[in-house]
Every structure is written in C-alpha cells, then in structure tokens.
Structure 1
Amino acid sequence: MDSINVKSLGKCGESCTTNSACFSFNFELGAKQKMSLCDLVFCSSDVNNSALAPNTTMTYYKHISEEATVATSPAIPLCNGCVHAPCQNGGTCTPTGPFDFTCQCMQGFSGATCEQRDGDCGGDPTYTGVRRIQTDEGRIFDAYCDQGWTYVFNRFDGSVDFYRNWVEFQQGFGNVSLEHFIGLDNLVSVLKQRSYKVRFDLTPWPSSNLNPPTGFAEYSTFNLADESDKYRINIGGYSGTAGDAMASQNGQRFTTYDQDNDPYGSNCAVTFKGAWWHAACHNSNLFATYEQGPTCHAFAACVCWKNYPGAGHGYSFNRAVMKLHRV
C-alpha cells in the first residue's frame, strides 16, 4: 500500500485507475484548502481486509474500471460500515449505510463500539434506567442507573418485603425498576473496582411538614468487607441535610433475623424488624418495616433515619434510596 497526497477524491481514484497494481483505495478528506490523504491498496477487500484503512477517518472505495474515467464513473463505495469490524468485546455490527454502523453490545458492555465495560453506572452520566452490569471479577446483574449513580436499594411504596434472610440479602431481591436491593455480594463486587461515595436520599411524608422536605446524607468514604467478615461497613466523611445517622453503624457487621452479627445482647434485626449494620442497635434502619404513613407501629422498627431534623426513632420515611457514585 502506498500513501500519497492529492487535491480531491477524484485525483485519488484517478491515481488508482492509472496504476495497474492498484485494486482499491482509502481516502481521507483534508481540511479546507489542504491536501487529502490517499492510500493506494494493492489488493481488494475480498482478498485481504487487513489492507483497508484501520480507522474510521478514512473511507474505502472499490477499484474503478480502466475503461471509465473518474468524471464519468465516480468511485462507488464497496464496503459497508462493518468492514473494519468496529464492534469490540463480542458486539454484533449492523451496517446502517455505506460507512455507518450500529453495535449490539454483549451484556455488560456499552458505548458506540462496545468499548466500555459497565462495572457500574458511571460510564454514562447522561443515562437513566436499567443497565446490565458486569464487574471486573465477572459478576453480571441488572442495576438501576440515574445520571451516573448506581442504585443499591430503593424503597417508596412497601410493595417489596424487606424482612428477608441472610441468603436473600446476599443475592438481592425485588425489581430494579421498582423496589429492590442489589444484593450484598453484587455490592461488594462493585466496590472492589474503584473508590466510591455513597448517598442516602430521604423523603418524608408531605403531611408531616418536616424541614427539609427532602434530605440527603452523603459519605465520601464507603466500603464493605466480603462475607468472611460479614460485610462489615466502613463509612465516613458525612455531608448533607439529613443528619449523620450512619456514624454509630460504622465498623459494624451485617445482621439479619437468621444471622446475628451485632454486638447487642439480642438480635437487633429481630427486635427492630430490619436487617442492617446494627450496633446496639441503630440510628438508621432503612430495611425495616415500611409504613403507609409517618408514624411507626413500634419504636425504631420502621424505615428510620433518627438524625433527620424533627424525625427521631418513631418516624417512618416515605422514600429511602441508597446509591453509589465514582470518586
């Protein structure tokens, strides 16, 4: 393959036509009033695809017959947009025009050419909706994405029972488009990839007139141990408007009604009807009973965030969300 500079596409085609060894050519249009790049290819695409332009800035054209001139028979594109196999990571290419294509990505990959592994929702900060996640260690699951945030759990109507056993909390449950928990093992797998901040969004019931009407608690430090240490939580660096209800939970292991890992004399998850990183026992209990109003049926046994201004242990929130973001 020879590369030359030419003034136009026609000159590139003419150079190929007048060269008996040239079967096709690549062309890249130069900037205004600048020379263009012309690759004379000494094979056809049917024989050797590796001779084609290796990047999308060049366009491939088939050979022009010796009997025709460029003026009377312009070069006709031979190849479609998939000729260079642009889709990565097992993606399937579909041509949409002579030089255009779309990629159908394998689960866990995204981007125009499937170049991006979706280990969380941070790769596309404009996307909101469900996305298939594939972490670096190979765990594949669906997650709800919101402008770069990865949802860990979402509670807003009580349609999903969160009073679950140890294995269910490990695996996750619910519908990621609705109420759900992503699962402890999936969460740990995501957190192994990089550093994340975590945010809790709390929405009180409108009738209770709490101020602020919605609040948040964000933590710049967040990590979990794996199952061998019972998913012990490391959380700190609070900022926000909801108050810090996780300080007393920091350093605690995860407890469910069938596995008591808290330091209290009895099982906090049983006493207060919710799995959590209980100490003795909690200032937050977001996996507990969901009430259809602000008043909890029993002290500290509902969707609780004690430090929210005006709330306390007896208040049950309308909505609670936990989500991750890259830092």
Structure 2
Amino acid sequence: FTDCSEGNGIYSGVVDAFIKPTGILNPVKVLCNFDYSVTYIQYRKNGDVNFNRSWSEYENGFGDVNGDFWLGNKYIRALAQQKNYFLGLRQYTSSWSISSYPSLAIDSATNFYALTYGSLISGTDGLSPADTSKEAYGQQFSTYDRDPTGCAKLHGSGWWYNTGCSLSNLNGNFQVTFGSTTGITQTGIGIYT
C-alpha cells in the first residue's frame, strides 16, 4: 500500500500496517483506520512519549504506532505529494473535537516542511483543532534545534508555529493530574482521501 486507503474493504478497524509512499525506499509502519481510509501521522493517547524532539527525530519519526507517535515529516511530505488528501485534526478533552480540511500540502525540508491546506469543510471553528490549523497555515515546522520563531523551545515540542507562538499545539504537553482531566488527553492527526 502507498497509504491506508488502499486497504479499505480488505481490512477493517484501527490497526498498524506497513505502507510505502511514493519516493520512499523502505516501508514504514503506520496506524491505519481502514474503515475510514485514514493514515495517522500523529496519535497521542498515553502521554508517555516526549514530543520535545530534534529536527532529525521529527523528520524520521518517533514513538510507537500502538501508543504515542509522530510518523516523520519526510513520510508526511511523501504522502501529501502522492494524492490530494484531506487533513483531519482531533483532540479529546471531555469530548472529541474534530476538524477537516482539504488540499493538504507539505513543502520540502529546505523550506522547513511548511504546511498549507484548504478551508475548513467540517468541524467546529473555534475549537482547538480548528484554532490549531488556522495558526499553523503557511508556517514552517520548528524544533528546538531549528527554531526560526523561538516557539519550539518555548512550548517544548515541534510544530508549525506562527510568529506569535500559537497556543494551540497538538504536540504540546498533556495536562493530566492523578487521572482527572485538566486539559487535552488524546490527539490524532490523520490524512484521508
């Protein structure tokens, strides 16, 4: 498969699988939702993986697709170049907030994997996923060791920060205290056709 959509109708459920996006030499393990043809590029449900990582780690990916992970910017870019994808953002606080955007595009590493996409097509503007995407549009990816805005160091994670150091950041630290929810406790970023 070049993405999880090619397994739709063959497999079902949310499971890990290997895909080989166009231009990538070796298959990469991803989390797929075969029922909805979603290839997850980020998922966080345990809060046990530190997302304050280097440029190289964000480029190549880290974590475990059965827990918390980042697929890797080079894989995300390869995926975005092979088809016209929708970008789906979701987060859980006391309920799920989900937003979807068409026409995902990720620029090259030379241009810091700058992110663009179309206008909101579903979801609720004003919720954090929508706010996140509005602030991330057109921004370059930043990490503590490649941080043109200074925001990755400030927030302790890699993200597409704007010059005002956007407050919405799906890679930021979870705020959970003794099992009671005080902030975001799960996030997922997926692409689908």
Q: What is the TM-score with the length of structure 1 in the denominator? A: 0.52
Distance 1:248 1:181 in 2: 20
The answer to whether structure 1 residue 282 and structure 2 residue 166 are counterparts is yes
Shift in Å at residue 281 of structure 1? Answer: 1.1
Give how far 1:235 is off.
2.2
5+ long unaligned stretches in structure 1: 1-117, 207-212, 296-315
Q: How many Å separate the matches in 1 of 2:155 and 2:66?
A: 27
Equivalent residue for 2:86, pick from 197, 202, 208: 197
Give the superposition deviation at 1:174.
Answer: 0.7
SS of residue in 2 equivalent to 1:152 = strand
Describe the shift of the 1:170–1:138 C-alpha distance in structure 2 as closer, same or farther (beyond 3 A). closer
The CA deviation at 1:283 is 4.1
The correspondence of residues 1-150 of structure 1 with structure 2, limited to 5 A, is 118-126=1-9, 127-128=12-13, 129-139=15-25, 140-146=27-33, 147=35, 148-150=37-39
1:174-189 superposed matches below 5 A? 174-189=63-78
Counterparts of 2:115 and 2:3, CA distance in 1: 20
Q: Tell me, what secondary structure is at the counterpart of 1:221?
A: coil
How far did 1:132 drift? 0.8
Cα drift, residue 288 of structure 1: 1.3
AA matched with 2:112:
K
Match of 1:268 in 2: 151
Give the equivalent residue in structure 2 for 1:291: 175
Query: In 2, Cα distance between the equivalents of 1:136 and 1:184?
Result: 14
Given the alignment of the two structures, is residue 173 of structure 1 paired with residue 44 of structure 2, yes or no?
no
Counterpart in 1 of 2:49?
160
2:111 maps to 229
Unaligned runs of 5+ in 2: none
Residues 42-89 of structure 1 show CA distances to partners (whole Å, capped at 9, x for unaligned) of xxxxxxxxxxxxxxxxxxxxxxxxxxxxxxxxxxxxxxxxxxxxxxxx
User: What's the secondary structure of 2:184's corresponding residue?
Assistant: coil
Compute the RMSD of aligned alpha carbons: 1.5
Q: State the identity %.
A: 24
- Per the normalisation by structure 2, the TM-score is 0.86
Shift of 1:290: 2.0
Highest Rg: 1 or 2? 1
Distance 1:187 1:291 in 2: 27
Shift of 1:125: 2.0
Q: What are the superposed Cα offsets for residues 208-239 of structure 1, whole Å, 9 maximum, x if unpaired?
A: xxxxx211011112110010110001023113
Residues in 2 aligned to 1:284 and 1:119: alpha-carbon distance in whole angstroms: 30
Q: Report the equivalent of 2:99.
A: 217
The 1-side partners of 2:175 and 2:8 are apart by 33
8 Å contact from structure 1 (residues 158, 291) kept in 2: no
Q: 1:138 Cα deviation (Å)?
A: 3.2
Match of 1:317 among 159, 184, 187: 184
The whole-number CA distance in structure 2 between the counterparts of 1:138 and 1:259 is 24
Write the distance in 2 (CA, Å) between the matches of 1:221 and 1:284: 21
Question: More helix per residue: 1 or 2?
Answer: 2
